[in-house]
Structure 1
């Protein structure tokens, strides 16, 4: 992606009272350690997600990393900032987890698109799927406007999906250098390697990312759309599904739109194929829908609920992340599964 990363300089300062909390934490004060890491928890979690492509895996990685940091705090000598040290621990934890887990995939990784709706498709349970990321809170704290923009840009679906095609060392080097602003020398120390190796990993990683991501990021696209107009697009998309309105839906889509639904392996490309699927499945074949707006991966998103007669309620069904090209929808990624909703703090059911 062009201009994807707006580099940030790692914060080498400590907040008032941090030194005292560090001393207490080294003496075994868990509350002091919690205070030390609390302001960094959100950005560390996002880093783990970028590395691993799964919110669930990011939860596990962050928990393990903070446990390692707590146990190894006596080894932190203060030669770098606490933030730098915690990123070292988190990155190494993610690299360890990657050795035992599959890389995260999206349906386009598995094969060509389908030209017509595939009915009664079975989920692929043998694939580790990329998951959506709830980005609420990424804008928080004392981050600068550039940093807030960067935080959202670096978790976009296209970027995180592309990162999964990189070996662990390249993935870590790219994120630490281009996203988080660490120097090649610092990264070499963090990863127990040489500066030459880091620079080589960066060159290789950037080549893959350039091939697998669009030239314009979603943040660049969204900045050109008025907030009111963006809400209109999301509302129109939701209304088209709720009303079974094929004509209304097709007016929202680009000609080369894609629709994928992990964990279902089939995906569709082009307005004809997408509409064949839409008309035969969500618009007429599923039943009644309701939607709640949210945000995932720095992109407009809707939580989709499907009517269940036995329950007498609408049940959580999928998190639909929209990718825009101008004011048209260029991709719909429906992450099917009620388990996603808890991360977005969305209800399990609607009346």
Structure 2
């Protein structure tokens, strides 16, 4: 390959970094691991760009590399999950216990476009990413490539070095397994429009900031869930969520919420009143899930030291900072 063509190909590879990161995130369940996988993919692609002969598209070629990188990473690690995929729900009145190793959990993915996600299927929803982790690695890749990224069966067969028949068989098995691992409220109601989600997010932020349990109860689906990674504890149902918020988590009263976007859905940086008596300190990243006209999931990730910089959220807000109660602006990062 002439040097000029190789350089053009190398430059074009960067155009795929964003979509590759989301692909690797779905495969691995961790945004940090996905970024590492994409960087590894790019290094391999740069080193081997002279071997790209153009018999397949550049996109297919780089996805083949990314898939192998992810398969290696999956083989070296453990399956990530959300708390509801590992244990039964617990009482809202009980303490969360000790935190688990962070490597156990599915993590949130920054950015996305909620308006596009409202019409683009499940995209990178936390429950969907968690369900994907139940699939054998090659089936996982096949399902994402076919059903999410719309690669053809022939392209996936070439990527895996297999046949179209084996790809179609793997996809059928993957879909069947995925259906068995839906979240407890998946499939309830319909996916709300962006305007409905914005309205629900605004109402949720106002209600949580006021600690208005009556309003929160009206917004929550009867089988809504609340989970608290890195703690294994999770709750299902309005009564247990209220018992948690008014019992062990009563220190969240008076919190301030700053809107952001995670996993293509509204999210909030939660700041609790400082024990020192002034200002508000980072407490959790809340990723909110919706179905129909109700909130079906609150995922409160407590690793603020790592997550807040990733989401562009400050470590602290001062007492004169107004609470952000509007839905987050769209982001395409």
Match of 1:237 in 2: 204
The DSSP-based 3-state class of the residue aligned with 1:99 is helix
State the alpha-carbon separation in 1 of the partners of residues 310 and 31 from structure 2: 8
Contact 2:274 2:281 (C-alpha < 8 Å) held by counterparts: yes
CA 1:37 to 1:253, structure 2 compared with 1: closer, same or farther past 3 Å? same
State the alpha-carbon separation in 1 of the partners of residues 9 and 173 from structure 2: 38
The DSSP-based 3-state class of the residue aligned with 1:347 is coil
- Gaps (5+ residues) in structure 2? 319-333
Following superposition, the deviation at residue 60 of structure 1 comes to 0.5
Q: How does 1:58-207 map to 2 (within 5 A)?
A: 58-119=34-95, 121-125=97-101, 128-136=104-112, 149-150=119-120, 153-207=122-176
CA 1:177 to 1:232, structure 2 compared with 1: closer, same or farther past 3 Å? closer
CA 1:149 to 1:66, structure 2 compared with 1: closer, same or farther past 3 Å? farther
How many pairs align? 315
Contact 1:253 1:328 (C-alpha < 8 Å) held by counterparts: yes
State the alpha-carbon separation in 2 of the partners of residues 277 and 207 from structure 1: 35
Return structure 1 stretches of 4+ with deviation > 4 angstroms: 214-218
1:47 corresponds to 2:23:
yes
CA 1:50 to 1:328, structure 2 compared with 1: closer, same or farther past 3 Å? same
Contact 1:43 1:138 (C-alpha < 8 Å) held by counterparts: no
Taking structure 1 as the reference length, what is the TM-score of the superposition?
0.82
- Gaps (5+ residues) in structure 1? 1-18, 140-144
State the alpha-carbon separation in 2 of the partners of residues 116 and 61 from structure 1: 38
The DSSP-based 3-state class of the residue aligned with 2:84 is helix
Match of 2:256 in 1: 290
State the alpha-carbon separation in 2 of the partners of residues 125 and 148 from structure 1: 33
Q: How does 1:178-327 map to 2 (within 5 A)?
A: 178-213=147-182, 216=187, 221-223=191-193, 227=195, 229-282=196-249, 284-286=250-252, 288-310=254-276, 312-327=278-293
Contact 1:153 1:298 (C-alpha < 8 Å) held by counterparts: no
State the alpha-carbon separation in 2 of the partners of residues 350 and 325 from structure 1: 31
State the alpha-carbon separation in 1 of the partners of residues 96 and 132 from structure 2: 31
Q: Which moved more, 1:160-169 or 1:269-278?
A: 269-278
The DSSP-based 3-state class of the residue aligned with 2:301 is strand
1:336 corresponds to 2:302:
yes
Taking structure 2 as the reference length, what is the TM-score of the superposition?
0.86
